[in-house]
């Protein structure tokens, strides 16, 4: 054997490559929701699935080579050429798959990487199980020292018991993730809050001498399999009133009974509606997981009375956890449970396995509706996705064309009703030109004075594209910087002010009302 072969066949080298090869399918699988479709688009449908099984097979082969390095070293002397080829090919593929995983992680950008890494962490028990099986099948019998054997068996026993207990009981202290969001649904308020684990949700308040406890429930059955809770409360019950939110942790709802934990109740929140002659609304769009960076810009905007979220909280809603982290927690932090929030869905909230449940989770009937704020009115529109439904990125799971048409049918039913502003994620409203034309005609017909939008990740005021309807593009995250804005409504006009996370002003304009 030459020097290269000795290194290649060494127990250390074989073990390292076996571990890397075993971790490769885990990381590749963790990136499936965000990245695999791009491999399939570049090559052919099904390529990513085929590649996953190749990566998994490579892990098994690399494990077998590690076992040989420990147990059958005479093979290296008797067949050095064949063994060199076998080891070199496997190690080469292992290196390629590891590099591929790193490329997938980096190419997803800073907002996707944490999602992929959390997905990989969730798969860690499978990797541990694989390593345990390999260890006990191949290497444990080689350990002759009795104390070492007893210590290993004891450690594994403790780990198994601990794992079983943690599976049955959550280790986290049950609590609220943030203050609640009070969403204006157009017909009442939806108080939305998240807990650290699954459980029930309820809101308590007093109104006209009566005590109310309103649950997050469906036709009488209280929901308990979610971390996000939403409770609808009539406007008059909440306006200028105080309330608390509460939750009972539920480990498992049985058909008969349930296994539940403790019940928690929040501090009291004093809610003030936006109904004054002058109202200042905080506008935030396209924060794309950058909650803290957005807050840096928001800190320069001063006090506000309400919050307008213009969508694109995260790259997608693959899990409920992403909804909690990037929308519910963020909105709760900004509104503090004491002021109304108007939410406009971004195209990235239409993506991912959890996306179809977003409206239900937030307690919204629809993503297009109108909101009255004193003398002012917001017409909320939902631009849906920004590509054709047939685009391969949607995997046959998009039907936004028909949905956008419903949006437009609805906006055409609206009538003139005071000082009106449209809210829409996309500054171009809908990808279908005819639908956008109808929308602009309908909005200008009811004397809509401006549209507040996002999506483009820069701040601008477009007064030319749609004559009679100025379109404000709010800002959002771009290249590590953030622009947020505030919109002050008063009889004198619509004052737009935007600044970045360093406090530099990006916009300072006032638009007139059309009526
Ligand atoms: Fe967007």
CATH number at residue 307: 3.60.21.10
Q: Report how far ligand 1's centroid is from the alpha carbon of 186 (Å).
A: 23
Q: What stretches of 234-368 show up as alpha helix (H) in DSSP? A: 235-238, 291-298, 320-323, 329-335, 358-362
* Residues 286 and 267 grouped into a single domain: no
The Cα–Cα gap between 473 and 469 comes to 13
- Report pLDDT for 3: 82
* Residues 352 and 390 grouped into a single domain: yes
* Residues 76 and 43 grouped into a single domain: yes
Does residue 11 sit within a domain?
yes
- Average pLDDT score over the chain: 95
Q: Report how far ligand 1's centroid is from the alpha carbon of 426 (Å).
A: 7
Q: Report how far ligand 1's centroid is from the alpha carbon of 348 (Å).
A: 6
Q: Of 102-111, 175-184, 465-474, 496-505, which range is least confident?
A: 102-111
204 has pLDDT over 80: yes
Mean pLDDT of 192-218: 97
Q: Report how far ligand 1's centroid is from the alpha carbon of 194 (Å).
A: 24
Does residue 322 sit within a domain?
yes
Does residue 408 sit within a domain?
yes
Query: Could you give the maximum distance between any two Cα atoms of the chain, in Å?
Result: 93
Does residue 223 sit within a domain?
yes
Q: Which residues surround ligand 1, an ion (CB under 5 A)?
A: 312, 346-347, 455
Mean pLDDT of 268-280: 97
Does residue 101 sit within a domain?
yes
* Residues 233 and 253 grouped into a single domain: yes
Last residue of a domain, one of 271, 306, 336: 271
Q: Report how far ligand 1's centroid is from the alpha carbon of 312 (Å).
A: 5
* Residues 203 and 292 grouped into a single domain: no
DSSP code for 327:
I
* Residues 326 and 390 grouped into a single domain: yes
Q: Report how far ligand 1's centroid is from the alpha carbon of 118 (Å).
A: 23
Contact 315, 354 (CB under 8 A): no
* Residues 88 and 197 grouped into a single domain: no
Q: Report how far ligand 1's centroid is from the alpha carbon of 195 (Å).
A: 27
Does residue 363 sit within a domain?
yes
At 345-387, the pLDDT tens digits run: 999 999 999 999 999 999 999 999 999 999 999 999 999 999 9
- Report pLDDT for 18: 95
Long-range pairs of 400-409 with CB within 8 A, sequence gap ≥ 24 = 400/350, 401/432, 404/430, 404/431, 404/432, 404/435, 405/435, 406/368, 407/368, 407/381, 407/382, 407/435, 407/439, 408/435, 408/438, 408/439, 408/442
Mean pLDDT of 2-26: 91
Q: Where residue 293 falls among pLDDT bands split at 50, 70, 90?
A: very high
* Residues 457 and 376 grouped into a single domain: yes
Q: Report how far ligand 1's centroid is from the alpha carbon of 337 (Å).
A: 26
Does residue 464 sit within a domain?
yes
Q: What stretches of 370-513 show up as alpha helix (H) in DSSP? A: 400-411, 433-445
Mean pLDDT of 446-457: 97
* Number of domains comprising the chain: 3
Q: Where residue 406 falls among pLDDT bands split at 50, 70, 90?
A: very high
* Residues 383 and 349 grouped into a single domain: yes
Q: Report how far ligand 1's centroid is from the alpha carbon of 457 (Å).
A: 8
Q: Report how far ligand 1's centroid is from the alpha carbon of 166 (Å).
A: 39
Q: Report how far ligand 1's centroid is from the alpha carbon of 345 (Å).
A: 9
User: Residue 208 region, left (φ>0) first, then alpha (ψ -120 to 50), else beta?
Assistant: left
Q: Report how far ligand 1's centroid is from the alpha carbon of 54 (Å).
A: 35
Provide the token pair at 370. Answer: 């109108």
* Residues 395 and 450 grouped into a single domain: yes
Single pTM value for the model = 0.92
Does residue 185 sit within a domain?
no
Last residue of a domain, one of 136, 168, 200: 168
Last residue of a domain, one of 102, 133, 168: 168
Q: What stretches of 72-216 show up as alpha helix (H) in DSSP? A: 74-78, 80-107, 109-134, 146-168
Q: Report how far ligand 1's centroid is from the alpha carbon of 495 (Å).
A: 24
Contact 374, 275 (CB under 8 A): yes
* Residues 382 and 282 grouped into a single domain: yes
Q: Report how far ligand 1's centroid is from the alpha carbon of 294 (Å).
A: 16
170 has pLDDT over 80: no
Q: Report how far ligand 1's centroid is from the alpha carbon of 455 (Å).
A: 4
Range of the domain at 332: 272-511
Q: Where residue 6 falls among pLDDT bands split at 50, 70, 90?
A: confident
Q: Report how far ligand 1's centroid is from the alpha carbon of 29 (Å).
A: 26
Q: Report how far ligand 1's centroid is from the alpha carbon of 314 (Å).
A: 10
Mean pLDDT of 132-148: 89
Q: Report how far ligand 1's centroid is from the alpha carbon of 491 (Å).
A: 31
* Residues 263 and 280 grouped into a single domain: no
């Amino acid at each position: 054997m030459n020097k290269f072969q000795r290194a290649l066949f060494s127990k250390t080298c074989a073990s390292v490559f076996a571990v890397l090869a075993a971790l490769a399918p885990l990381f590749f699988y963790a990136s499936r929701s965000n990245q695999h479709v791009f491999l399939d688009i570049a090559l052919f449908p099904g390529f990513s699935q085929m590649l996953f099984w190749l990566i998994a097979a490579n892990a098994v082969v690399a494990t077998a080579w590690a076992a040989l390095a420990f147990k059958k070293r005479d093979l290296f002397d008797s067949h050095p050429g064949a063994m060199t080829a076998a080891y070199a090919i496997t190690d080469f593929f292992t290196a390629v798959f590891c590099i591929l995983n790193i490329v997938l992680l980096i190419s997803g950008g800073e907002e996707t990487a944490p999602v992929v890494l959390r997905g990989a962490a969730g798969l860690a028990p499978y990797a541990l199980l694989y390593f345990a099986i390999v260890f006990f099948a191949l290497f444990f019998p080689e350990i002759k020292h009795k104390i070492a054997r007893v210590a290993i068996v004891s450690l594994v026993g403790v780990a198994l018991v601990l794992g079983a207990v943690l599976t049955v009981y959550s280790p986290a202290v049950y609590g609220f993730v943030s203050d609640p969001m009070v969403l204006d649904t157009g017909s009442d308020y939806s108080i939305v809050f998240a807990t650290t684990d699954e459980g029930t949700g309820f809101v308590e308040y007093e109104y006209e001498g009566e005590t109310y406890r309103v649950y997050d429930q469906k036709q009488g059955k209280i929901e308990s399999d979610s971390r996000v809770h939403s409770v609808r409360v009539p406007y008059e019950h909440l306006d200028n009133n105080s309330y608390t939110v509460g939750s009972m942790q539920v480990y498992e709802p049985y058909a008969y009974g349930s296994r539940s934990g403790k019940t928690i109740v929040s501090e009291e929140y004093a809610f003030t509606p936006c109904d004054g002659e002058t109202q200042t609304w905080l506008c935030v769009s396209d924060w794309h997981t950058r909650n803290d960076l957005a807050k840096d810009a928001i800190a320069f905007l001063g006090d506000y009375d309400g919050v307008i979220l213009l969508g694109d909280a995260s790259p997608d809603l693959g899990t409920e956890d992403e909804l909690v982290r990037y929308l519910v927690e963020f909105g709760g932090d900004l509104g503090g449970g004491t002021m109304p929030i108007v939410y406009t869905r971004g195209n990235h909230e239409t993506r991912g396995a959890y996306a179809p449940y977003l409206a239900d989770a937030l307690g919204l009937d629809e993503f297009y509706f109108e909101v009255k704020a004193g003398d002012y009115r917001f017409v909320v529109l939902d631009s849906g996705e920004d590509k054709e439904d047939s685009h391969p990125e949607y995997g046959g799971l998009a039907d936004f064309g028909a949905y956008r048409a419903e949006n437009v049918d609805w906006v055409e039913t609206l009538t003139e009703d005071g000082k009106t502003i449209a809210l829409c994620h996309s500054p171009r409203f809908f990808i279908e030109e005819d639908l956008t034309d109808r929308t602009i005609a309908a909005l200008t017909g009811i004397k809509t004075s401006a549209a507040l939008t996002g999506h483009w990740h820069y701040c601008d005021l477009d007064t030319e594209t749609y004559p009679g309807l100025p379109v404000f593009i709010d800002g959002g995250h771009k290249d590590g910087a953030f622009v947020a804005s505030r919109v002050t409504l008063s009889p004198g006009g619509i004052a737009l002010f935007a600044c970045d996370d360093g406090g530099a002003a990006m916009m300072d304009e006032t638009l007139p009302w059309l009526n």
